[in-house]
Amino acid sequence: GAVVSQHPSRVICKSGTSVKIECRSLDFQATTMFWYRQFPKQSLMLMATSNEGSKATYEQGVEKDKFLINHASLTLSTLTVTSAHPEDSSFYICSARGGGQAETEAFFGQGTRLTVV
Amino acid sequence: AQRVTQPEKLLSVFKGAPVELKCNYSYSGSPELFWYVQYSRQRLQLLLRHISRESIKGFTADLNKGETSFHLKKPFAQEEDSAMYYCALSGQGAQKLVFGQGTRLTINP
């Protein structure tokens, strides 16, 4: 199957700083990328959907000014957590859909564990 | 609104026994339903989708529109089936994938 890579896999940052997480589709063009948040022992909560070249669509309750999403190319989307606070500590997962085999199947990254201290 | 419900957080069965993981959904149109699996220390991966009507690793799932269900079944569980299973729904024309709460399946030897 297609490969989606997230970087970094783990990050620790100080409260008040910003953190950027990258999501790349390695062998297909991802027309749509999704960002999820997963709390311990809970399901994936969809945060936003981004289409290449356009603004992301955020789910209700997700602060767009806090979680900045950029999908500038067909292989890269970034999630920036701005002015991070301890309550932003979580596991963030991206997934991507594109043409061909990935047209309906969403492929997932390995996730990024963010810890804000 | 799209909603997926997996009523069982935990499910434990013995090796060789049948397994059924329940999934119910709420959606006004024609949904696409999926089952994703996450093995220990691995990323989420697609197990099967209703439109392909195939059996993967011995698992099958039938979409029942009358009962709005998409239960995952396997007649004889194997130890390697132990994992976290998520049911997911994508709405008609919409691309976003909404997940259920997940069921942790443990197969006992």
pLDDT in tens, B57-87: 999 999 999 999 999 999 999 999 999 999 9
Please indicate if any CB of chain B lies within 8 Å of the CB of A32.
Answer: yes
Which residues of B have a CB under 8 Å from any CB of A? 32, 36, 43-46, 49, 51, 86, 90, 95-102
User: Which of A93, A101, A104 to mutate to test binding with chain B, by most B CBs within 10 Å of its CB?
Assistant: A104
Q: What is the pLDDT of residue A90?
A: 95
Please indicate if any CB of chain B lies within 8 Å of the CB of A105.
Answer: yes
**Of A37, A57, A33, A55, which Cα lies nearest the Cα of A46?**
A37
Residue A74 one-letter amino acid: L
Name every chain A residue with its beta carbon within 8 A of the beta carbon of B39. Answer: none
Confidence band, pLDDT 50/70/90 cuts, at residue B4: very high
Cβ contact B95–A46 (<8 Å): no
Judge residue B68's burial from the number of C-beta atoms within 10 Å of its C-beta, 0-12 exposed, 13-18 middle, 19 or more buried: middle
Q: Where are the beta strands (DSSP E) in chain B?
A: 3-5, 10-14, 19-21, 24-26, 32-38, 45-49, 60-61, 72-74, 83-90, 97-99, 103-108
Name every chain A residue with its beta carbon within 8 A of the beta carbon of B99. Answer: 36, 43-44, 46
Q: What is the pLDDT of residue A31?
A: 84
**Of A117, A116, A113, which Cα lies nearest the Cα of A21?**
A113
Q: Across all residues in chain B, what is the average pLDDT? A: 92
Name every chain B residue with its beta carbon within 8 A of the beta carbon of A108. Answer: 36, 43-45
Ranges of residues in chain A with a pLDDT under 50 are 101-102
Q: What is the pLDDT of residue B85?
A: 97
Please indicate if any CB of chain B lies within 8 Å of the CB of A95.
Answer: yes
Q: Two tokens at A51? A: 């289409």
Q: What is the pLDDT of residue A102?
A: 44
- Of the listed ranges B31-40, B47-56, B67-76, the least confidently predicted one is B47-56
Q: What is the pLDDT of residue B71?
A: 97
Name every chain B residue with its beta carbon within 8 A of the beta carbon of A44. Answer: 44, 86, 99
What mean pLDDT is predicted for residues B9-15?
96
Judge residue B69's burial from the number of C-beta atoms within 10 Å of its C-beta, 0-12 exposed, 13-18 middle, 19 or more buried: middle
Length of chain A: 117
Q: A38 has which bridge partners?
A: A44, A91
Q: Residue B90: pLDDT above 90?
A: no
